[in-house]
Structure 1
């Protein structure tokens, strides 16, 4: 039944029989047959019938919750038995908010030094996508904000506090200041992350509290794009303190703390809450807990 539950989770995630079948590596008729067999086994209709996918029935929604729990437990059991036979090995899929991407080596490097048979893949996602992909088993862990928007049922480990600076080119307006205020951002030609990013929503909130209406001249979901534009001298941005240095753009760029207030938000590692965790996720959480905030900055 486990394979059928995995097919069902994929169908709910993709909301399309063809895409779900492709993701599962089977034909669409095989996927449809497996879903019908699952319905027969459970004695309920899971999918709204029609010429194409139209959603889940109420029973299907409830079964989806059980399916995620059962499939997650089965994967944990398999990984635990593999670790018992061969030691810790495998692949960890991470998703991170853009502002934290440059900090990830400070977690992955010491982890992989201890566990050389573990590999990583890292993708950039907004905070809502991080949580959604965790819930859908598309990633094993994520790095996101812990204290600004609801996280749901996850286990979290704080890594560092994100503090905000005006990031601008040398010689640009305000570049010679020791600090600036959120209110002074009203007169700055800003480039910012796109509105789907929680960092942008945080910045919007602090600017709004200072009476500033956000009018960015350029938006991007890439920190590299923003930093490249800052380097021209025509744009500035509001970013966490260490982003510019982490991406190697520090030579001609000034970072000036923004005060009144000096805001901060906690960034950390999140994983779907379950007991027990898979051996890989358990080891990653342990590594995150062993890091001091100074090691991440």
Structure 2
């Protein structure tokens, strides 16, 4: 039944039989047959079917909750037994909001040195994608904002407070200032992250509080793309301290702190609520606690 539950989770996530089959590495007829077998075993219809996938039935939505728990627990059991036999090893899929990517090596570097038999896959994701993919067992954990928008039922470990600076060329008129108010960003040619990024929503709130219209000339879901445009000029961008540290050392760029009423936002590690966690995830949570105490 476990394989069929995994296929059912994939179908509920992808909402398309073909994509779900591809994700599971099986043919579409095989996936369809497995879902029908699962329905037969449970005695309920799980999926509304027409010419294509039309959603989950009410029973299917309830089974999905159970499927996530059962499959998650089964994976944890396998990981724990492997750790008991061979020591800490395995794979860890970590989703990270783009603004935290410049600091992520400070967390994962020490972790990998302590546990050289673990492999980590780091994926750039929005905060919403991180929560969704943790729910659907596509990610093992994430690094995202903790206190700006609802997280739901997850375990969190704070990592750092995010502070904001204005990144610009050294020949910009504001480059010599020791600090700036958010109100001074009015009429500047901004380039910012896209609206689906929580960092952008935080910046929008800060600008609105300062009565500054939010009208960036350029948007991207890539911090690197924003920095490239700042280098090219005349654009400026609001970045966090880790991004500023990484890029402000680039010749020709500098970053000036922004001061205002909004305050810093907490960024941290997010893990599934279920207990116990896999040994590799428990070790990452412990590494996050060490990081926050530095």
Name the TM tier (shorter chain).
Answer: over 0.9
Task: State the superposition RMSD in angstroms.
Answer: 1.2
Aligned counterpart, 2:163 = 163
Check conservation: 2:156, 2:269, Cα contact below 8 A.
Answer: yes
2-structure distance, mates of 1:11, 1:62: 14
Aligned residues: 294
Check conservation: 1:193, 1:220, Cα contact below 8 A.
Answer: yes
- Structure 1 position 115 matched with structure 2 position 115: yes
Aligned counterpart, 1:20 = 20
Check conservation: 2:100, 2:242, Cα contact below 8 A.
Answer: no
Check conservation: 2:158, 2:268, Cα contact below 8 A.
Answer: yes
Aligned counterpart, 1:42 = 42
Aligned counterpart, 2:85 = 85
Q: Which 4+ runs in 1 deviate beyond 6 A?
A: none
> 1:189 Cα deviation (Å)?
1.1
Check conservation: 2:168, 2:230, Cα contact below 8 A.
Answer: yes
Q: Deviations for 1:119-173, whole angstroms, at most 9, x for unmatched residues? A: 1111111110111111111111100000000011110000000011111110202
Aligned counterpart, 1:203 = 203
Give the TM-score of the pair, scaled to structure 1: 0.96
Partner SS for 1:104: helix
CA separation of 1:173 and 1:187: change in aligned 2, threshold 3 A: farther
Instruction: Give the gaps of 5 or more residues in structure 2.
Output: none
Aligned counterpart, 2:62 = 62
Aligned counterpart, 1:259 = 259
Instruction: Give the gaps of 5 or more residues in structure 1.
Output: none
> 1:188 Cα deviation (Å)?
1.3
1-structure distance, mates of 2:254, 2:229: 14
Aligned counterpart, 1:189 = 189
Check conservation: 1:227, 1:244, Cα contact below 8 A.
Answer: no
Check conservation: 1:164, 1:263, Cα contact below 8 A.
Answer: no
Give the TM-score of the pair, scaled to structure 2: 0.97
> 1:248 Cα deviation (Å)?
6.8
> 1:47 Cα deviation (Å)?
0.5
